[in-house]
Structure 1
Amino acid sequence: MRNITFALTMGLAVAAAPAAAEEWRLNNFLPETRPESAELEKFVADVNDKTGGEHTLKLFSGGSLGLPNTDTLRFLPRGAVEMSLMWANYLGRDAPALSSVVVQGTIGSIEEFEKAIPVVREIYEEEFADWGVSSVGYVPIPMLSVSVFCRDEPVNTIADLKEKKLRVWARDQVETFTRLGVAAQIIPQEEMYVAMRTGVVDCALYPALYAHTVSLQEVSKYASFLYPMASGPYVIGVATDKWEAADPALKEAVAAAAEDLWNRTNQYENDYARELAAREKLVEQGIVWGDDFPDEDREAFVATVTEIWADLAEEAGGKAPDYRQRVLNALGR
């Protein structure tokens, strides 16, 4: 009888014991100098504060864990890291449908963008779940102004750009510029500086707002605005089995901190003012800011990228055409 009582007592003690403390790593491929990285630092601090030290979250920025951002759907479900930032446009190799949810350049106003965001988030949750990844938080991307930065001479027309080698970061951009007669190639952000310095490319497509974070002003002398760009938000992902097995206290802390993160960053009213301030700073650092690309060039770009959006969705197949149509419906098109 004493043995039975002892066993029952021990069983109750084990059941009542708190979950073992865990340390989760958050992989962030963005440079530490990016404003989104600062927001992720606050997110991590909020999670740690809410758990009271029972569990901890640690941020690793700038790709310091050596995990390629294009491989997130491979390494995250396998447990290479507990949590990671993800961007759908980098994941088209493994999940082609994600590349056609929001093709950059097809949404050109804050008003349209705000209509699309709820639907985009729903689609991301569904698609990532199919890959065994739970979307536990989001980091908005500002409404950006994309410019063409060049090394040796100013370029502010599509005609002039046809004479240059252009760096881009996504397949839809390669397809769009190729159709416009421009030689474009994908060069990862971390390789762009060297590519510009050594002449692998003559010009680089990049937002002025973030140019200083990759020292683009050191390898280019001229810049001109080409088009406004809305993008789907970054997603904070956790392997679904890891998330489902996590201590409820940790999940509650992450959910609360993620909601705070979204609420304080899902703001776009000051984006253009920040863009102008960034351009002014770049001019102070030696960039010659030229005239914008003409309206007819921007219209040609938007018309072409809209065609590419449809083509990519059809090529991806599966759910991609439906994802695109859901976004179009949200936009009222």
Structure 2
Amino acid sequence: MNRLIQAAAFGISGIGAAISPAMADEWRLNNFLPETRPETAELEQFVEDVNGALAEGSEITLYSGGSLGLPNTDTLRFLPKGAVEMSLMWANYLGRDAPALSSVVVQGTIGSIEEFEKAIPTVRDIYEEEFADWGVSSVGYVAIPMLSVSVFCRDEPVRTLEDLKSKKLRVWARDQVETFTRLGVAAQIIPQEEMYVALKTGVVDCALYPALYAHTVSLQEVAKYASFLYPMASGPYVIGVATDKWDATDEATKAAITAAADDLWDRTNQYEDDFERELAAREKLGEEGVTWGEDFSDEDRALFVSSVTETWKMLAEEAGGNAPAYRERVLTALGR
């Protein structure tokens, strides 16, 4: 029993062992996104705004690209324990610990900006409720653009679901694994920081990824063919703080963080230029050697959406608890 207690104590303390203790007036913001992502630039502005409003000697420091060594899938474990004061979170990465979160917005089920704008307030409410149950307060949000997801392949173009069945496909979330499995495609989750090597060495033949962000991971160096498959709306990133930490924070600091977070949301919650930026990204990738093929057909996209819809229902029922009710709330917001 003593050995078990010692092991448990070591495990808990080990979560923050790689991070030196912070000063009482320093808040560390863990950001798993690469420094090259546009969302990271927005977080840098958020930090600058907060620090400008805080008293001298107090500050938030941003650590990007997973530089603190904290896995994004473990956020609900390390954040309430105080490994960092603040962290970016994405619900779709947290399904292992909080299954209901992964079925709030299943990627591919919302296919237009108009629909997504209807759903966002409900999605934010659900996130706030669910994270509160884990001892985490949602203090800010970063909107994710309406993305166009393409299939990037290393050796030859793939433009049909039938051809994709003979390939090994990289995806980034379980709902995608389930969706493609229904379609007869072998899909596996590979983190984006490992995707480059996985494509280069042939662990996978193709990767699902938005052209808008392809340069941030140098995807054009290892994938020479690409074709658009489906539009994707995602629930926003959440900036979380342990609830006990937030409750103990002075009102001036809370006000500075809240005001900067409101500005952050207003800056990122804009979707009018998303498609133009997507086309510009494709053009730039084409100049660097990526051959853009024809889009997947309307028939293939219809099959994909049908599979996603089945996956969404299955994941909600499997998760149980609040998940089916969350799904119904989002469907109601969408008017379906």
Name the TM-score class by shorter chain: over 0.9
Q: What is the SS of the residue equivalent to 2:53?
A: helix
Pick aligned residue for 1:304 from 295, 304, 307: 307
Q: In the alignment, what sits opposite 1:151?
A: 154
Alpha-carbon contact 1:110-1:268 (below 8 Å) kept: yes
Match of 1:177 in 2: 180
Q: CA deviation at 1:52?
A: 3.6
Could you tell me the TM-score, scaled by structure 2's length?
0.93
Change (3 A) 1:310 1:249: same
Q: CA deviation at 1:264?
A: 1.4
Equivalent residue for 2:236?
233
Counterparts of 2:119 and 2:323, CA distance in 1? 16
State the secondary structure of the residue aligned to 2:32.
Answer: coil
Partner of 1:44: 47
| 2:292 aligned residue | 289
Counterpart amino acid of residue 108 in structure 2 = G
Task: Please name the residue that 2:281 is paired with.
Answer: 278
Q: Distance in 1 between matches of 2:86 and 2:297?
A: 43
Uncovered stretches (5+) of structure 1, i.e. residues with no partner: 1-19
Which residue is equivalent to 1:259? Answer: 262
Who is 2:246 aligned against? 243
1:118-173 deviations in Å (ceiling 9; x for gaps): 00000000000000000000000000000000000000100000010000000010
Aligned to 1:97: 100
- 1:329 aligned to 311, 323, 332, which one? 332
Map 1:204-243 to 2 at 5 A. 204-243=207-246
TM-score with structure 1 setting the length: 0.93
**1:70 aligned residue:** 73
Q: Tell me, yes or no, if structure 1 residue 198 matches structure 2 residue 201.
A: yes
Q: Which has the larger radius of gyration?
A: 1
Q: Distance in 2 between matches of 1:181 and 1:276?
A: 30
Are 2:125 and 1:136 aligned?
no
Q: CA deviation at 1:41?
A: 0.1
Distance 2:86 2:147 in 1: 26
Q: Partners of 1:292 and 1:242 in 2: how far apart?
A: 48
1:206 partner amino acid = Y
Which of 121, 125, 132 in structure 1 is aligned with 2:124? 121
Runs of 4+ in 1 over 3 A off after TM superposition: none
Q: Give 2:84's aligned residue.
A: 81
Identity of aligned residues (%): 82
User: Would you say 1:186 and 2:189 are equivalent positions?
Assistant: yes
Mapped partners of 1:251, 1:318: distance in 2: 32
